[in-house]
Amino acid sequence: MNELVLTPGQLSLHDLRQVSRKAVQITLDPACYPAIHSSVACVNKALAENRVVYGINTGFGLLANTRIPDEQLEALQTSILLSHATGVGQFMEESTVRLMMVLKINSLARGLSGVRLELIEALVRLVNLGIYPCVPEKGSVGASGDLAPLAHMSCLLLGEGHATVNGQQVSALEALSAASMEPMKLAPKEGLALLNGTQASTAFALQGLFGVEDVMASAIISGSLAIEAAMGSRAPFGERIHQARGLTGQIDVAAAYRQILDHSEIEQAHADCDKVQDPYSLRCQPQVMGACLEQIRHAARLLEVEANGVTDNPLVFADDDLIISGGNFHAEPTGMAAEALALAIAEIGAISERRIALLVDQHLSGLPPFLVQNSGVNSGFMIAHNTAAALASENRCLCHPSVADSLPTSANQEDHVSMATYGARRLREMNSNTAAIVAIELLAAAQGVDMRKPHRPSEQLQQVMKKVRKDIAFYDQDRYFFPDIQKAIEFVTSGQFNRFMPTRLLTSL
Q: Which residues have a catalytic role annotated?
A: 54
Distance in angstroms (rounded) separating the CA atoms of residues 8 and 371: 54
Tell me if residue 379 falls in helix, strand or coil: coil
Distance in angstroms (rounded) separating the CA atoms of residues 145 and 338: 16
Chain-centre distance of CA 100, in angstroms? 12
Distance in angstroms (rounded) separating the CA atoms of residues 327 and 308: 16
Burial 374-411 (b: 16+ CB within 10 A, else e): ebeebebbeebbebbeebbebbeebbeebbeebeebbe
**Peptide bond just before 502 cis, omega within 30 deg:** no
- Contact (CB, 8 A) for 161 and 172: yes
Element (H, E) at 98: helix 94-108
Q: What are residue 5's DSSP bridge partners?
A: 27
Task: Write the DSSP string, 335-373.
Answer: HHHHHHHHHHHHHHHHHHHHHHHHHH-HHHH-S-GGG-S
Distance in angstroms (rounded) separating the CA atoms of residues 267 and 186: 68
Tell me if residue 395 falls in helix, strand or coil: helix
Query: What one-letter code names the amino acid at 128?
Result: N
Q: What are residue 163's DSSP bridge partners?
A: 133, 170
